[in-house]
Amino acid sequence: MTPRLALFLLLGIDAAILLFEASSLSLTFHGARLLYDYEPSVMTRIIQASIALFGQNDVALRLPMIVMNLISALLLYNVAKPYGRHARERVWLVAVFLLLPGVISSSLLVDEAALVTLGLFLYLFLEQRFGRRADLLLPLLALMDVAFALLFMGLAVQAYREQRYRYVGAYLLLTVVTVWVLGFNTGGLPQNQFLDMMGLYAAVFSPVVFVYLVYVLYRRYVTGQADLLCSIAATALVLSLLLSFRQRIEIEQFAPFLMAALPLGMQTFYHSYRVRLRPFRKRYRLLFTLATALLVINAGAVFFNKAAYLFLDEPSRYFAYRAHVAKELADALKARDITCATFPHNRSMQLRVRFYGVEECEGTVVRSERLADPQNVTIRYYNVPVAVFGVTNIPKN
């Protein structure tokens, strides 16, 4: 099998799994706010266009993110070409990218991470093909999401290293304009979130991959081998960790830029592997096997997330709970001819069920508690009750 055929087979399998999984999840509160509460963004309009074209369903809701990450995988395959001696190495890199928990989550949850990842790899691809002319894309990226300010800062760092001082000023000016126009969240009470941030990175990349990428970035800077990809990834990582000493960081704004280090990790690993004699390659094979096994396990935990309820005592504390229940609750209410209701003290569920056809009104009250009558709605997965809602019909005067 040729590497190119293997690449498209890999992308096809990934697309099929993601499309199948898309219909089993509910819209999260963050996704609902993106659709209904926030000022319409580029990502919001793309999702709305998909819904208008394919109907209001979970597949149409998540299709833009799935397509974006598949295109990002193709761009990564091309961006990694200068870093990989053989095409099969880049196919493995794409497989690792698609198995990253953060990539899978950004394909199935409604947020801006997939758009940011696509913008990053598109710029890197154009920069490799056309050099500085790729900078014509930057003003467009600046209008799409404030997270691209991190890209501009990484470009400024690399321009400074190359002593292109005029470009440093231009990139920093673009950074300031982006943050000023789109705004960057610096609110909240000062609090140390450093350890939480490290844990989030480990969850997004898996622990082994994250630690290895940090090692690669450090090694390249120490040895003077930092290039554009290294500057972008290191700038985003260092800024996120510094800011985490003061406030909670939105990981979806920073993690996509650490993806730029993936080709560097591939190059470093294969170079270290090849320069050693066969008897001394054992630990590298062990590292590769361990990283792959963890990625496969993490991917399985995401794809078969509902099976975990069979072993949980408190379902509401499960990490995937925020992407469950809403769709099933809306379907149960509509089965009782309830198409509008109010959820006291539960703004999250109020917004989430709106996507599934249950609008807000005062005729029916739904509470997150069991009532002493048959009006309860119980949501079950694998015959395990995970949530109970009490439904009260208020008679009209």
Q: Give the range among 11-20, 23-32, 176-185, 371-380 with minimum mean pLDDT.
A: 371-380
Q: Indicate whether 46 pLDDT > 90.
A: yes
Which of 278, 303, 328 terminates a domain? The answer is 303
pLDDT in tens, 219-250: 999 998 899 999 999 999 999 999 888 778 88
Q: What angle do CA 18, 24, 30 make, to 5 degrees?
A: 85
3-class secondary-structure state, position 184: coil
The answer to whether position 312 is within a domain reads no
Would you place residue 394 in the very low, low, confident or very high pLDDT band (cuts 50, 70, 90)? low
Is the separation of the CB atoms in 191 and 249 below 8 Å?
A: no
> Residue 360: phi, psi to the nearest 5?
-90, 130
Residue 206's Cβ-side half-sphere holds a number of Cα atoms within 13 Å equal to 24
Average pLDDT in the 62-66 region? 96
- 165, 84, 74: which is closest to 122 by C-alpha? 74
The answer to whether position 308 is within a domain reads no
Give the Cα separation of 31 and 134 in Å (integer). Answer: 31
> What is the edge-to-edge ordering of all strands in the sheet holding 340-342?
340-342, 359-367, 384-393, 376-381
The answer to whether position 309 is within a domain reads no
What's the chain's average pLDDT?
90
The pLDDT of residue 228 is 96
The answer to whether position 311 is within a domain reads no
Q: Which has more pLDDT, 125 or 180?
A: 125
How many domains does the structure of the chain reveal?
A: 2
Instruction: Indicate whether 20 and 86 sit together in one domain.
Output: yes
Average pLDDT in the 43-57 region? 94
Which of 272, 303, 334 terminates a domain? The answer is 303
Q: Give the highest mean pLDDT range of 11-25, 284-298, 358-372.
A: 11-25
Average pLDDT in the 137-146 region? 94
Place of tokens 């396990």: 297
The answer to whether position 294 is within a domain reads yes
The answer to whether position 166 is within a domain reads yes
The pLDDT of residue 160 is 95
The pLDDT of residue 222 is 92
Give, for 385, the enclosing helix (H) or strand (E): strand 384-393
Instruction: Indicate whether 42 and 179 sit together in one domain.
Output: yes
Average pLDDT in the 88-114 region? 94
pLDDT in tens, 161-179: 999 999 999 999 999 999 9
Beta strands 340-342 and 359-367 are parallel
Segments forming the whole domain that contains residue 281: 3-303
Is the separation of the CB atoms in 391 and 376 below 8 Å?
A: yes
Instruction: Indicate whether 92 and 135 sit together in one domain.
Output: yes
3-class secondary-structure state, position 363: strand
Average pLDDT in the 252-259 region? 94
> Looking at this protein, which amino acid is placed at residue 43?
M
Instruction: Indicate whether 198 and 277 sit together in one domain.
Output: yes
Average pLDDT in the 348-353 region? 94
The answer to whether position 331 is within a domain reads yes
Which of 245, 278, 303 terminates a domain? The answer is 303
Instruction: Indicate whether 19 and 45 sit together in one domain.
Output: yes
Q: Indicate whether 99 pLDDT > 60.
A: yes
Is the separation of the CB atoms in 134 and 127 below 8 Å?
A: yes
The answer to whether position 241 is within a domain reads yes
The pLDDT of residue 163 is 92
Instruction: Indicate whether 197 and 329 sit together in one domain.
Output: no
Instruction: Indicate whether 282 and 338 sit together in one domain.
Output: no
Is the separation of the CB atoms in 295 and 206 below 8 Å?
A: yes
Q: Which has more pLDDT, 363 or 30?
A: 30
The rounded percent of the chain whose pLDDT value lies above 70 is 96
Instruction: Indicate whether 281 and 360 sit together in one domain.
Output: no
Instruction: Indicate whether 294 and 346 sit together in one domain.
Output: no
Instruction: Indicate whether 196 and 95 sit together in one domain.
Output: yes
Instruction: Indicate whether 220 and 267 sit together in one domain.
Output: yes
Residue 337's CB: how many other CB atoms inside 10 A?
Answer: 6
The pLDDT of residue 371 is 67
Instruction: Indicate whether 352 and 206 sit together in one domain.
Output: no
Would you place residue 113 in the very low, low, confident or very high pLDDT band (cuts 50, 70, 90)? very high
Average pLDDT in the 351-371 region? 88
